[in-house]
Structure 1
């Protein structure tokens, strides 16, 4: 096998050679031009340097290779490097190796895996719809994952979410899961949309005028005028099945196969579809207060955007393109707010702290602590055509990203002083992905979770290899009469009753990969969110009920888990763990200890540490190395990002 450095270089050369041309005359678009990206990184560093001069702060030192290696791996692909990756990088003396490592990581499978975790958290994406019967979010999950892996531009991603309608199982329209995930809660959905995509907090205006913020005072009517754009959400043609469903949901019918088959159609087909395009008008709620003097309970109000370029819809008739108009407004008619929001969120993801905090409360560039820098970042996002990977590449190229760790808190309220990266605890996903790297080797070599489109009846797959949910959904949603729905149901019921089973074997043959909560695969492949007894939940993974619900706060349960749970069982006391395989070929205790440090902490031990560890091995030959592994994995250095 070629040395890792050679593989990195080949990957970079392949990326450059494959970059598409634009602008005619053989010129590359900025997002595809390596020279442009390097210049953009330099411009960011110049803005930061100018701020240092104004604040009379010295320029921080650049961090050492070992700290940088661990940092860039965890930030870019969400796991620590393997022992081999660490050794290869630290042994290279090429001055361009940091940039080449960035390119290698951004084009590795781990990049999509790690960004998927971030996206799932932001969208509150779950495998099953909360309180939604048998409805599944699997097609929506798969759509988001494919969008991340293909590096779909952020503006297109948001537009396709907000303007979506149609079949929830169709791979092209499965983005409707953004709305069906919140079925029955359209007001919460629009409030979350504003917070996620525009950093605008309007949720309080659902119930009362907001006079808490001096810069943004949405009134209650503003909120309902905005909600009008997405009003009128429903299921495609579900009324055709309503009589049959009513018959089968009588108490004495719910345990039979008829009910289970009908549930496939009612919940997993109709229940996952989205009809219409947004009526554009909505009735004010019954508790709307007369003292507002701008409407009364039950009044119909048309869609109206609260800021940016004003977009209006009629209050006299229902239309069918409200969601499309909303999407267009969010992406292209809110001025710098849309690019500023995602530029700031990505800055926080890479640099550790946002340019302005909190990230879900928009601050105009000229009112931020760093007007020139924030103005440049939001324009850079536009110039890069909302290419998330290109934008992160620029940030990772900067010297600002490479500054040494600063353990002190920021001197700037509501922002960062950029004076070295602040220490932060790893997310639950980063800890998990790093642990399974130590126990099983590079987790990105394992098969990815794929869409499970099998038909489930009574919790078991049926008709495997004969028909799947994508086909059933397309056929059911095409039915136009109640009698056709009944006939289809009877045919599906008969097919299920006569099916011979064999779902597990057929799944393997069809290439479907699914994982249960006990699988040692990356967090992005596991059930979402993790159940309450899982390592990920214990270490703070979001329950996906509200935006930004993850936690990095320590607790006693985490300590007990590290001492007695997964770490001890699958890593410390597991002689087959990949970590111990790195010791093969080492001829001395010194070399074995060095390899353990490189695999766990991505650095060699200091002379003092080497002395301590040699004493441990000599005093306890049988348990010495296991004790070293246990101590290093439970150390603050392993659990924190510098």
Structure 2
């Protein structure tokens, strides 16, 4: 039967999970623009090879490209059906079509969500914080699904103010994540968005850089003065219900909703623009307790007065980061995306900015930086161009770099998959395309003592809007008394025992659900496969690890692989054997399903010998051997 082109398959039910993602029009939607930009990048790389007198690597085969493109673009291996469709097509433009297909699946935004969670340390909860990060988590995921431009994304985080339960202002979770630690939050901001490591300057002048402690506090002044709504208006009520004899009453539980889930999840104050130097300040350029005005340390200078409080410091900070730092802001995100696609940044570490002229490929880095600006910070469009380069398609090379810089593009270096890529690939083998499953949805019901109440009457967004609009203590007390009466009248739980909210089903997934890593608790529990394989605990920026350990081997041998793949005859990968008329064809299909390539002649012989010896039990043995192989766990 003649195979259909990928472009047709993407519109049919043959390969499910395709959903055009939203977002504004992009230059990367123009195929000719993408082609020219990709060629330009390849020209810079080829020119560098010539200057180093190194041969340009060959383009890799279809099977390697297939697996590489899936892993990089959507974070999982192809299903057996997707792999067979691509490998059986004899069409010149199929690689371009595959990239288009992948970037328009739900898998793309899922994989980008994992990246954003790791970068921003997004968690479901935090010790000492009773409120929920659910709205913030949902905001970040929606931003990735909508392909929000990176400068808009950055600005929304840094200038965020308002109610966390409102989808439009849920980005305040960026500051709530570091509540009580504004200086740490600022250090993370400069590291993530500007590639500037300023954390040392919180306590002293940086001995390894140019940042002085005074510089850091001038920058911190932009964000100083944030508070949690009008929480002070509820202080008396909160003190009353916290008495020992009231902690177990419904009065306390309802007050807890307002104190923690409403006022505790709001951000008020746009940034005063001035701050006091700490009591232990030790340098001659300032005195302990001295009030100083905001000032940016590099780029185009932005200042604020030290005489009066303002309310737009964070807006000014966001504008400065995204549009007044010269090449630094676009260079850092361009280099992050280059590392994401190519496996390594043009400069390393990727969170320590290097000017283009000081990299070993100045012309390339200059072009990538300008390309990011020309694309209006469209991360999907930028990655689309990189995925269409010949540089991305270079043959894998297990040998170490031939140059001192460590990055000569001489074939893609081998790298172990991230924990999320491993998990998402395993569930693809176990249950098929994971992007067909419903996404986790946000639960914005009002919960008292762990049970939803007043369902159909109000929700956290409405409740928060009403409470945060109150101006006096008496108004807050009246609001609290009415809420308490409504909860008592409706009963604890009441209609809220249902999982329906005004007709919409709330989709939740437990830790063992066979769904994408982006849908599971963040971070995963410590005994989960994701954690064992190095998922970040979300305590530090990009805290994931690819280091091997014994626990990983035991997890594969005795855990998910054995239970859900090897010994599970209903696993999706075994369905790929249906209709196979010979042992050779069954072996071939298992190789394509797991390693995304057909077996070599020697491998076929070994596996046929296993079938002769073990009969039907040979196939689970083959599955076990392939899944636990280095080839499955590494990206070429």
TM-score band, normalised by shorter chain: over 0.9
Equivalence for 2:15: none
Equivalence for 1:75: 72
Query: Against the structure 1 CA distance between its residues 222 and 19, is the aligned structure 2 distance closer, same or farther, given a 3 Å change threshold?
Result: closer
**SS in structure 1 of the partner of residue 392 of structure 2:** helix
Paired with 2:63 and 2:592, the residues of 1 have a C-alpha distance of 9
Equivalence for 2:246: 253
Question: Following superposition of structure 1 onto structure 2, how do residues 146-157 of structure 1 map, counting pairs within 5 Å?
Answer: 146-157=142-153
Equivalence for 1:142: 138
2:479 aligned with 1:488: yes
Paired with 2:140 and 2:403, the residues of 1 have a C-alpha distance of 36
2:630 aligned with 1:636: yes
2:510 aligned with 1:516: yes
- Offset from partner CA, 1:120-179 (integer Å, 9 cap, x none): 1101111113421x2111111111111111111101110111011011111111111111
Higher mean Cα deviation, 122-131 or 563-572? Answer: 122-131
1:345 and 1:359 in contact (8 A); partners too = yes
Question: Following superposition of structure 1 onto structure 2, how do residues 282-297 of structure 1 map, counting pairs within 5 Å?
Answer: 282-289=275-282, 292-297=283-288
Paired with 1:411 and 1:335, the residues of 2 have a C-alpha distance of 33
2:558 aligned with 1:564: yes
Residue number among 301, 307, 311 corresponding to 2:302 in the alignment: 311
2:567 aligned with 1:573: yes
Residue number among 151, 168, 174 corresponding to 2:170 in the alignment: 174
**SS in structure 2 of the partner of residue 128 of structure 1:** coil
Query: Against the structure 1 CA distance between its residues 386 and 19, is the aligned structure 2 distance closer, same or farther, given a 3 Å change threshold?
Result: closer
Query: Against the structure 1 CA distance between its residues 20 and 199, is the aligned structure 2 distance closer, same or farther, given a 3 Å change threshold?
Result: closer
**SS in structure 2 of the partner of residue 496 of structure 1:** helix
Question: Following superposition of structure 1 onto structure 2, how do residues 407-418 of structure 1 map, counting pairs within 5 Å?
Answer: 407-418=398-409
**SS in structure 2 of the partner of residue 544 of structure 1:** coil
1:79 and 1:437 in contact (8 A); partners too = yes
Paired with 2:611 and 2:384, the residues of 1 have a C-alpha distance of 43
Higher mean Cα deviation, 140-149 or 477-486? Answer: 477-486
**SS in structure 1 of the partner of residue 118 of structure 2:** helix
- Offset from partner CA, 1:547-578 (integer Å, 9 cap, x none): 01000101000000000011111111111111
Residue number among 37, 42, 47 corresponding to 1:45 in the alignment: 42
Equivalence for 1:189: 185
Equivalence for 2:531: 537
Query: How far apart are 1:414 and its partner, in Å?
Result: 4.9
2:226 and 2:269 in contact (8 A); partners too = yes
Paired with 1:139 and 1:77, the residues of 2 have a C-alpha distance of 24
Query: How far apart are 1:502 and its partner, in Å?
Result: 4.6
Residue number among 447, 456, 466 corresponding to 1:465 in the alignment: 456
1:161 and 1:176 in contact (8 A); partners too = yes
Equivalence for 1:238: 231
Residue number among 116, 137, 140 corresponding to 1:119 in the alignment: 116
**SS in structure 2 of the partner of residue 399 of structure 1:** coil
2:330 and 2:369 in contact (8 A); partners too = yes
Query: How far apart are 1:585 and its partner, in Å?
Result: 1.1
Query: Against the structure 1 CA distance between its residues 454 and 395, is the aligned structure 2 distance closer, same or farther, given a 3 Å change threshold?
Result: same
1:347 and 1:353 in contact (8 A); partners too = yes
2:269 aligned with 1:276: yes
**SS in structure 2 of the partner of residue 355 of structure 1:** coil
TM-score (norm 1): 0.95
Paired with 2:109 and 2:425, the residues of 1 have a C-alpha distance of 16
Equivalence for 2:611: 617
Query: How far apart are 1:411 and its partner, in Å?
Result: 3.4
Query: How far apart are 1:494 and its partner, in Å?
Result: 2.3
Residue number among 412, 415, 421 corresponding to 1:421 in the alignment: 412
Equivalence for 2:99: 102
Cα-Cα RMSD: 1.9
Equivalence for 2:259: 266
Query: How far apart are 1:257 and its partner, in Å?
Result: 1.7
**SS in structure 1 of the partner of residue 487 of structure 2:** helix
- Offset from partner CA, 1:474-525 (integer Å, 9 cap, x none): 1111112212212222222222232324534425942221111111100000
Equivalence for 1:200: 196
Paired with 1:6 and 1:309, the residues of 2 have a C-alpha distance of 46
1:517 and 1:527 in contact (8 A); partners too = yes
2:153 aligned with 1:162: no
Higher mean Cα deviation, 462-471 or 42-51? Answer: 462-471
Query: How far apart are 1:443 and its partner, in Å?
Result: 0.1
Query: How far apart are 1:381 and its partner, in Å?
Result: 0.3
Query: How far apart are 1:9 and its partner, in Å?
Result: 6.5
Please, which runs of 5 or more residues in structure 1 have no aligned partner?
22-28
Equivalence for 1:393: 384
2:548 aligned with 1:554: yes
TM-score (norm 2): 0.96
1:369 and 1:415 in contact (8 A); partners too = no
1:600 and 1:638 in contact (8 A); partners too = yes
1:83 and 1:595 in contact (8 A); partners too = yes
- Offset from partner CA, 1:208-231 (integer Å, 9 cap, x none): 111213xxx100000000000001
Query: How far apart are 1:252 and its partner, in Å?
Result: 2.8
2:33 aligned with 1:36: yes
Equivalence for 2:441: 450
Equivalence for 2:53: 56
Equivalence for 1:90: 87
Paired with 1:518 and 1:281, the residues of 2 have a C-alpha distance of 48
Query: How far apart are 1:454 and its partner, in Å?
Result: 1.4
Equivalence for 1:5: 6
Paired with 1:482 and 1:259, the residues of 2 have a C-alpha distance of 18
**SS in structure 2 of the partner of residue 230 of structure 1:** coil
- Offset from partner CA, 1:9-66 (integer Å, 9 cap, x none): 759xx999x9977xxxxxxx63332211110000000000000000100010110100
1:70 and 1:81 in contact (8 A); partners too = yes
Question: Following superposition of structure 1 onto structure 2, how do residues 335-374 of structure 1 map, counting pairs within 5 Å?
Answer: 335-374=326-365
Please, which runs of 5 or more residues in structure 2 have no aligned partner?
13-17
2:118 and 2:542 in contact (8 A); partners too = yes
Paired with 2:98 and 2:127, the residues of 1 have a C-alpha distance of 40
Aligned residues: 626
Paired with 2:294 and 2:498, the residues of 1 have a C-alpha distance of 50
- Offset from partner CA, 1:266-320 (integer Å, 9 cap, x none): 111111100010011111111111xx21011100111010000010011111110
- Offset from partner CA, 1:437-491 (integer Å, 9 cap, x none): 0001000000011111111211222222332111111111111221221222222
**SS in structure 1 of the partner of residue 452 of structure 2:** strand
